[in-house]
Chain A
Amino acid sequence: MSCFFWNVRGLNKSTKHSVIKKWVEEQNFQFGCILETRVQESKMQTVGNQIFKDWSILTNYEHNRRGRIWVVWRNNTRLSPIYKSGQLITCSVKLEGQEDEFFCSFLYVSNFASERKDLWNDLRDHCDSPIIRNKPWIIFGDFNEILNMAEHSKGDDTRVTYGMREFQEMVNYCAFTDLSSHGSLYTWSNRQENDLILKKLDRVLVNNKWKMSFPQSYNVFEAGGCSDHLRCRINLNIDVGERVKGKKPFKFINAIAEMQEFRPMVEAYWKTTEPVYMSTSTMFRFTKKLKALKPKIRQLAKEKMGNLVKRTKEAHDTLCQKQEENLKSPSPQAMIEETEAHEKWELLAEIEEKYLKQKSKLHWMQVGDKNNKTFHRAVMARVAHNSIREIQRQDGSVTKKGEEIKEEAELFSVSFCSWFQMTLRELHWRNFKFCYHLGVQQRIEVD
């Protein structure tokens, strides 16, 4: 499942038609949008049919004569517009075979400050509206503005323009974040040979709900040739959600050490093993003993840590129930039960927080402030940021398959680590040693 957008800078030339057509067929997009077509409304049908045969097209000619935004989608996708302006088309999208719909806004942001302000306000209203608020929402297109100076090839990091600040404020208000992205940072160039400027004008932003619903989604900016903007494809990666997992490598979860059962278990095991003594194989035997301990820890973790979040919630529910009972019909027995439930919940909650903290890698945070939500998001963001979903191989081809990515990684690292020019080993060593000592002497003289 994937979609696209591209600021094509005019779609009147037939050469561009074939480029887009080929791309769309190759990538098998479900929907997408073409920006800045400059096609007249009367010609829209013919041009549209030529590139997107049997697709549906939605435009905003009524707000803008030049055909700024064309939204296109295949028949098996259901797309219904809910808002339109000269710079924005918002639709609800329901993909084939998917239960839930999501919202998608296609943008072509104006160059004029006042018009832009209207758009930012529209997006704020979107964000507050009850229809969109709790749904996954993705917005993409040509923003004609950058978020910070790092997105400008000549940016000096010292200047923040008024336009950027307004953009930042909108993004902050709606709690948008960039979708994880592969490919080049800059998406546009001014094509001036003697004063080249590159900027990231196009981007894909998503709300928090989107990140939860489509954690594996990502976008790629790639060169399309016939425009000064790069084209973008967005892969929702819905089907990859349940990746076939091999056995995960063992990792010690720090929170296990807090468990009552942990230390007696280790102690009991250690007593059954032969103590190590000093010899050349000490280290080897010591690590072997540790290795045999792994399955036992794994087992304990599975029993006690599995479904931690769910169990913490259950423990909390039981506690609430007991508390209510105790208030309705107080008795010493009920009081004891409540206290027990409370202790159980507290223990679980503590372990949960510690576990999440280790996973989130927010080392500066202190456990105990109950920042679980932050830890949760941090874990998710880390996974999204660090996972490799597609890679361009050394021969230039692109792969998305997990196995092939692994192969490429191995190949690359092996070649990276080896050094064939061993001939240099016997470099003129005598000569060098001489230099070195002379260097020291020279220094003393200068001093």
Chain B
Amino acid sequence: MEPVTGEEIKTVLFFMSSDKSPGPDGFTTEFYKATWEIIGAEFIVAVKSFFEKGFLPKGVNSTILALIPKKFETKEMKDYRPISCCNVIYKVISKLIAKRLKEILPQFIAGNQSAFVKDRLLIQNLLLATEIVKDYHKESVSDRCAIKIDISKAFDSVQWSFLENVLHSLNFSQEFIHWIMLCITTASFSVQVNGELVGFFNSSRGLRQGCSLSPYLFVIAMDVLSKMLDRAAGFKKFGYHPRCQTIGLTHLTFADDLMVLSDGKVRSVEGIVSVFDEFAKKSGLKISMEKSTIYLAGSANMYRREIEERFKFAVGSLPVRYLGLPLVTKRFSSADYRPLVEQIKRKIGTWTARYLSYAGRLNLISSVIWSICNFWIAAFRLPRECIREIDKLCSAFLWSGPELNSKRAKVNWEAICKPKREGGLGLRSLKEANDVSCLKLIWRWVSRGDSLWVKWIETYLLKTKSFWSLNMQYNGSWM
């Protein structure tokens, strides 16, 4: 592992956003950036001392727990989500460790996990899930089921001892494990209530949401579950989902969002639940049965009753939202993209948008609205009507503000989507962006990336043929 250099510390610090909330000491990143010439040298010494001496004072690793209301209902304390704000020095240290962790992560994390691992895309999880549920609406298919698992309080209930053991068994160096454990075990907390800080206490479990190490450590913990599931399937504790045995696919994960695939037999569900129980005992991560849903297809529906009675799973029906996008079994219809349009309308309709200047509105479109669209574009080929509708909305908003008067447009939308030096406003054309993202997916196959989705496509779609000789009748994901 490379030693930490002063140059690296500086890069990490200057890469951090200046607008983030400060930790308990109140110093923002901007402060360190602005005074770098004066205190930079000593800042480097201080950060290096952590790595050389392996010592972290309690004050540095203290954290503010800011309480953010979850969605609409706020009645009790549990309706508020605690978010941690760490001190900048600590953040730099944890980023340095996270950077090293990130590099080696792809080597051992199973391909089922696509969150936080370099070169793995959320979209691929979705596409694979789409391929899998594609025939769920037909009655003639063989037995199959997919279970969407909800892990209760995922980040907050990871046990440290478990994590330490996993890190040891992955053969990390003693020093490296010591750094990580130092970061997560010395944390202390104060709660922020209406702008004031109360309390000062220690924690004895869990990872902080807001610490840059947490996602990677969480992924490592979840990887154990991945391997346990694969192993259980190998020992025939539960049966494979149809078309999944060849590539050994038993589940898909994105951070704490888990989808287990099986053959829909009661015995299999039993096997899966027993794996979760075992995992909960080891790691402290419990699944909440009530919030998990099972989707059945084919004659597996016969066992519906039994499964409901025995496992407390809710039995769901498709289409459903998976990772924030619709998981469709048939062709992409206008009802499927309605959430996207509604989401954009909601963004435009808020009072925030009401007082924006013309330039501010352009800013809102190019950053907020476009990033929402991007998420969808990456996964689907949006129908032409959908793109037209979004363009119309954006144009009306740009010219007339939230009243959305489409008659006030003075320049046509295509012209606005041109780059600035060609006289446009530098917005991206949605249609072109959509085409590009489709090509990107094709590039992923052709370049034979090593992901489960590519493997799936190779096994079931391409077989031995080349991309060009494909039969276009096939309607799977995104085509």
Residues of A within 8 A of B (CB): 148-150, 157-160, 168, 172-173, 175, 177, 181-185, 208, 243, 245-246, 248-252, 254, 257, 262-263, 266-267, 270, 275-284, 286-287, 289-291, 294, 357-358, 361-366, 369-371, 373-374, 377-378, 381, 385-388, 391-394, 402, 405-410, 412-414, 416-419, 422, 424-425, 427, 429, 432-433, 435-440, 442-443, 445-447
- Chain A hits for B49, CB < 8 A: 278-280, 282-283
A158 touches B339 (CB 8 A): yes
- Chain B hits for A370, CB < 8 A: 357
Q: How many angstroms between the C-alpha atoms of A363 and B20 in the bound complex?
A: 9
A410 touches B191 (CB 8 A): yes
A406 touches B196 (CB 8 A): yes
A374 touches B34 (CB 8 A): no
A362 touches B69 (CB 8 A): no
B82 touches A416 (CB 8 A): yes
- Chain B hits for A263, CB < 8 A: 34-35, 38
- Chain A hits for B33, CB < 8 A: 257
- Chain A hits for B357, CB < 8 A: 369-371
B195 touches A365 (CB 8 A): no
A363 touches B19 (CB 8 A): yes
Q: Which of A275, A291, A294, A388 is the most central at the interface, judged by chain B CB atoms within 10 Å of its CB?
A: A388
B248 touches A369 (CB 8 A): no
- Chain B hits for A443, CB < 8 A: 110, 227, 230, 248
Choose the segment among B22-30, B259-267, B290-298, B391-399 that binds chain A (4+ C-beta atoms closer than 8 Å).
Answer: B22-30
A440 touches B76 (CB 8 A): no
Interface string of B26-65 (1 = CB under 8 A from A): 1110110111001100110110111011011101100001
Closest Cβ of chain A to B430, distance in Å, is 18
Interface string of B224-265 (1 = CB under 8 A from A): 101110110010000000000001100000000000000000
Q: A159-B338, A254-B30 provided; 9 other pairs, C-beta below 8 A?
A: A148-B342, A158-B339, A181-B74, A254-B31, A278-B48, A366-B363, A374-B352, A393-B76, A408-B77
A373 touches B199 (CB 8 A): no
- Chain B hits for A433, CB < 8 A: 165, 169
**Is B203 positioned at the interface, with any CB of A under 8 Å from its CB?**
yes
Closest Cβ of chain A to B255, distance in Å, is 20
Task: Please name 16 pairs of A and B residues whose Cβ atoms are closer than 8 Å in the assembled complex, sorted by A.
Answer: A157-B321, A243-B194, A251-B26, A252-B26, A262-B34, A279-B49, A358-B19, A402-B193, A406-B191, A417-B206, A418-B203, A419-B284, A427-B282, A436-B169, A436-B227, A443-B227
Q: How many angstroms between the C-alpha atoms of A284 and B45 in the bound complex?
A: 12
- Chain A hits for B104, CB < 8 A: none
Q: How many angstroms between the C-alpha atoms of A387 and B196 in the bound complex?
A: 11
Q: How many angstroms between the C-alpha atoms of A405 and B194 in the bound complex?
A: 10
Q: How many angstroms between the C-alpha atoms of A439 and B197 in the bound complex?
A: 46
Q: How many angstroms between the C-alpha atoms of A58 and B107 in the bound complex?
A: 74
B117-135 contacts to A, CB under 8 A, are: none
- If the complex has contacts A369-B357, A369-B360, A370-B357, are A287 and B25 also in contact, measured as CB distance less than 8 A? yes
Q: How many angstroms between the C-alpha atoms of A373 and B339 in the bound complex?
A: 30
Q: How many angstroms between the C-alpha atoms of A19 and B183 in the bound complex?
A: 55
Contact of A386 among B68, B75, B196 (CB under 8 A): B68
A157 touches B359 (CB 8 A): no
B34 touches A361 (CB 8 A): no
- Chain A hits for B224, CB < 8 A: 436
Contact of A406 among B24, B161, B193 (CB under 8 A): B193
Q: How many angstroms between the C-alpha atoms of A183 and B74 in the bound complex?
A: 5
Contact of A172 among B231, B359, B402 (CB under 8 A): B402
- If the complex has contacts A377-B351, A402-B194, are A413 and B199 also in contact, measured as CB distance less than 8 A? yes
Q: How many angstroms between the C-alpha atoms of A284 and B34 in the bound complex?
A: 22
Main secondary structure, interface of A, reads helix
B interface residues, how many (CB within 8 angstroms): 103
Contact of B231 among A279, A407, A414, A438 (CB under 8 A): A438
Q: Which of A177, A365, A445 is the most central at the interface, judged by chain B CB atoms within 10 Å of its CB?
A: A365
Q: How many angstroms between the C-alpha atoms of A184 and B169 in the bound complex?
A: 46
Q: How many angstroms between the C-alpha atoms of A291 and B68 in the bound complex?
A: 28
**Is B467 positioned at the interface, with any CB of A under 8 Å from its CB?**
no
Q: How many angstroms between the C-alpha atoms of A289 and B364 in the bound complex?
A: 41
**Is B80 positioned at the interface, with any CB of A under 8 Å from its CB?**
yes
**Is B349 positioned at the interface, with any CB of A under 8 Å from its CB?**
yes
Contact of A250 among B26, B50, B281 (CB under 8 A): B26
Closest 5 CB pairs of A and B: A439-B227, A446-B248, A257-B34, A419-B205, A282-B49
- Chain B hits for A414, CB < 8 A: 199, 201
**Is B367 positioned at the interface, with any CB of A under 8 Å from its CB?**
yes
A185 touches B71 (CB 8 A): yes
B25 touches A248 (CB 8 A): no
**Is B380 positioned at the interface, with any CB of A under 8 Å from its CB?**
no
Nearest CB to that of A273 among chain B residues? B42
- Chain A hits for B35, CB < 8 A: 257, 263, 266
B338 touches A157 (CB 8 A): yes
- Chain B hits for A369, CB < 8 A: 357, 359-360, 363
Q: How many angstroms between the C-alpha atoms of A342 and B193 in the bound complex?
A: 41
- Chain A hits for B231, CB < 8 A: 435, 438-439, 442
Contact of A290 among B27, B28, B52 (CB under 8 A): B27
- Chain B hits for A270, CB < 8 A: 38-39
Q: How many angstroms between the C-alpha atoms of A419 and B156 in the bound complex?
A: 10
- Chain A hits for B198, CB < 8 A: 406-407, 409-410
Q: How many angstroms between the C-alpha atoms of A183 and B71 in the bound complex?
A: 11
Interface string of B329-363 (1 = CB under 8 A from A): 00000011011001000100101101111011001
Interface string of B166-208 (1 = CB under 8 A from A): 1001000000000000000000010101111111011111100
Closest Cβ of chain A to B391, distance in Å, is 19
Q: How many angstroms between the C-alpha atoms of A289 and B45 in the bound complex?
A: 14
Closest Cβ of chain B to A224, distance in Å, is 15
A251 touches B206 (CB 8 A): no
Nearest CB to that of B153 among chain A residues? A416
Q: Which of B68, B197, B198 is the most central at the interface, judged by chain A CB atoms within 10 Å of its CB?
A: B198
